Chains A and B, each alone.
Chain A
Amino acid sequence: MTGADMAWVNTALTAARPQAMGALLRYFRDLDTAEEAFQEASLRALKAWPRNGPPRDPAAWLIFVGRNAALDGVRRLARQQALPEEDVLVGEGGDGDAEATLADRLDDADYRDDILRLLFICCPPDLPATQQIAVALRIVSGLSVAEIARAFLVGESAMEQRITRAKARITRSGVAFETPGAPERAQRLGAVAAMLYLLFNEGYSAGGDTVERRAPLAHEAIRLARLLLRLFPSEPEIMGLLALMLLQQSRAAARFDANGNAVLLEDQDRGRWNGPMIAEGLALIDKAMRHGRPTPYLVQAAISALHARASTAAATDWTQIDLLYATLEHIQPSPVVTLNRSVATAKVRGPAAALAMIEPLADRLSGYFHFFGAKGAYLSQLGRAAEAKAAFDRAIALAHTPAEAAHIRQHLDRLQRDAPQRDAPSPT
């Protein structure tokens, strides 16, 4: 098999995996058996597809071959007659009657609930977020344990254990196989959306030398969200989620300088923002708005869109952003939302108003890096250098990444540079 063959077969397997795995899980009602069946079908695809060409419906092929391979294994154990090999089934050319009939037999309507179920079982509420993501990358995306371990910056055996434990938890908590009703479906979509956004942030929030290893996680979250929206085309929550991820990801190329240091939104080279991603995000917001239900993802996407629409940082519509954050505070109140709103408030009504807005959050955000970063910035703008320095020092102590700490040090440097001038009476 040539490298080119390998590449297209692997792409086809990745694309077909959620659908095939979802159907195999429904068929076997057991995650391990479904995974083994898919694995066996993939191995056979690697042999058969380069020879016969891609099947008309790769997912249907994988489901049929995987199902037979697993049953075949059971029969062999029972010393019974084996089923025919997939070559007999598919025939030369890979487009034979057997496969066409098979594709017709598989009910398209089942697929969307199969795929949703497959994503949903990865996010039981009692499973920690990082484990939800890890197990989804393994089961739904088909990443190897080594690849996932690399992305999460942990050893392979530690990740193997983590995934094994997560899968055991999933098996224990049971999987609902009946077709979900509308409320269950909505609940599943909500849980899956939250998990996909966590997955996205694992990739998006990476900084410094981890960018290359983790950025694919953000792309995978976008791919899976597009898949979900194709299956559920009228779900404004998924439209908002996908729009939010696309608009954030559109800035990826401008977010870090050549040394890997974070570049603030207002300092980014907007020419390096990804135009098509912004256009797609804006189109999705327009679609979601028609449904008249402002979900948290949609409001956040709308905020991101106001940044994307501004040709320069100075042209940003901070008044509108402040209003959107007020909406977000209303539908999803949280100290972090208020903290984010304070950035817009500082632009519209000045640092004193912003500081007053976040001071009541001090207890709840006492361990939050961004709280002290923002507090330091407002204090610094108000000329309260000593208090600003204390806040920045605290932020550095709480920084998760070297890039975060480096960013705060820039603030500290500026503070020291400006300090002698501050000694003189300020004309304002």
Chain B
Amino acid sequence: MLYAILCYHREDVVGSWTKEEDDAVMAKLAVVHEKLAREGRLGPVARLLPTTAATTLRKDSDPPLVIDGPFAETKEQLLGFYLVEGETLEQMLDTARELGRANPGGSYEIRPVGLYHPAAAPGA
């Protein structure tokens, strides 16, 4: 089964990291990424730009409404997601725990992927 790991964290905290702190977290995550890649389980990985760069299209009205900012006003923001192969939820939880040790705080949402399109962008 293919799973998405959705990365939630407090954007004000992540945005307050110094470049050194940010680099350090990314380096620790890269170790986990490399392991998953060796196992052939790692799909595309994305880190998203801050939510302030987001625009939301609300489709519950006709015509759809364009709104500045991210979808939900919550304490934590969606800062990225993983697509990772896993046989069971337990295995995915282990993977999430492993990532969490490299980057504590916030949460990961684990959700099976119903529809998957391989990355089609050039160079991906």
A and B are partners in one complex rather than unrelated chains: yes
Binding site for B on A (CB under 8 A): 7-8, 11-12, 14-16, 54, 57, 223, 226-227, 229-230, 233-234, 239, 242, 276, 279-280, 283-284, 287, 290
Check B69–A276 contact: CB distance below 8 A: no
Q: Which residues of A contact B10 (CB under 8 A)?
A: 15
Closest Cβ–Cβ distance, residue B64 to chain A (whole Å):
14
If the complex has contacts A11-B16, A15-B13, A15-B16, are A229 and B49 also in contact, measured as CB distance less than 8 A? no
Interface residue B85 (Cβ < 8 Å from any Cβ of A): no
Check B12–A16 contact: CB distance below 8 A: yes
**CB < 8 Å: which of A7, A8, A223 contacts B15?**
A223
Nearest to A18 among chain B residues (CB) is: B12
What is the interface size of chain B, counting residues whose CB is below 8 A from a CB of the partner?
A: 21
**CB < 8 Å: which of B13, B52, B55, B104 contacts A226?**
B52
Give the residue among A14, A233, A279, A283 with the most B Cβ atoms within 10 A.
A233
Interface residue B50 (Cβ < 8 Å from any Cβ of A): yes
Check B50–A280 contact: CB distance below 8 A: yes
Binding site for A on B (CB under 8 A): 10-13, 15-17, 21, 49-53, 55, 66-69, 75, 104-105
If the complex has contacts A12-B13, A15-B13, A234-B68, are A226 and B50 also in contact, measured as CB distance less than 8 A? yes
**CB < 8 Å: which of B21, B50, B66 contacts A290?**
B66
19 pairs, CB–CB < 8 Å, chain A vs chain B = A11-B13, A11-B21, A15-B10, A15-B15, A227-B15, A229-B52, A233-B52, A233-B69, A234-B69, A239-B52, A239-B68, A242-B52, A276-B49, A280-B50, A280-B53, A283-B49, A283-B53, A284-B53, A287-B53
Q: How far is the CA of A279 from the CA of B50 in the complex (A)?
A: 11
Closest Cβ–Cβ distance, residue A14 to chain B (whole Å):
5
Nearest to B104 among chain A residues (CB) is: A8
**CB < 8 Å: which of B52, B68, B105 contacts A8?**
B105
Q: Which residues of A contact B104 (CB under 8 A)?
A: 8
Q: How far is the CA of A233 from the CA of B55 in the complex (A)?
A: 10
Q: Which residues of B contact A284 (CB under 8 A)?
A: 52-53
Check A14–B50 contact: CB distance below 8 A: no
**CB < 8 Å: which of A57, A230, A283 contacts B11?**
A230
Closest Cβ–Cβ distance, residue B95 to chain A (whole Å):
23
Closest Cβ–Cβ distance, residue B45 to chain A (whole Å):
15
Q: Which residues of A contact B55 (CB under 8 A)?
A: 287
Q: How far is the CA of A280 from the CA of B15 in the complex (A)?
A: 14
Check A226–B49 contact: CB distance below 8 A: no
Q: How far is the CA of A260 from the CA of B26 in the complex (A)?
A: 29
Check A7–B12 contact: CB distance below 8 A: no
Closest Cβ–Cβ distance, residue A58 to chain B (whole Å):
8
Nearest to A54 among chain B residues (CB) is: B105
Q: How far is the CA of A284 from the CA of B50 in the complex (A)?
A: 11
Check B75–A57 contact: CB distance below 8 A: yes
Q: How far is the CA of A139 from the CA of B124 in the complex (A)?
A: 45
Check B12–A15 contact: CB distance below 8 A: yes
Give the residue among B10, B12, B75 with the most A Cβ atoms within 10 A.
B12
Closest Cβ–Cβ distance, residue B56 to chain A (whole Å):
9
Q: Which residues of A contact B69 (CB under 8 A)?
A: 230, 233-234
Q: How far is the CA of A12 from the CA of B16 in the complex (A)?
A: 8
**CB < 8 Å: which of B21, B67, B68, B75 contacts A7?**
B21
Closest Cβ–Cβ distance, residue B54 to chain A (whole Å):
8
Q: How far is the CA of A226 from the CA of B50 in the complex (A)?
A: 8
**CB < 8 Å: which of A12, A223, A279 contacts B49?**
A279
Closest Cβ–Cβ distance, residue A278 to chain B (whole Å):
11
Q: How far is the CA of A284 from the CA of B104 in the complex (A)?
A: 30
Q: Which residues of A contact B66 (CB under 8 A)?
A: 290
Check B15–A226 contact: CB distance below 8 A: yes
Closest Cβ–Cβ distance, residue B59 to chain A (whole Å):
18
Closest Cβ–Cβ distance, residue B53 to chain A (whole Å):
4
Closest Cβ–Cβ distance, residue A396 to chain B (whole Å):
34
Q: How far is the CA of A229 from the CA of B11 in the complex (A)?
A: 13
Taking A11-B13, A16-B12, A230-B52 as known contacts, 4 extra A-B pairs with beta carbons closer than 8 A to each other, sorted by chain A number, are A11-B16, A230-B12, A287-B53, A290-B66
Q: Which residues of A contact B49 (CB under 8 A)?
A: 276, 279-280, 283
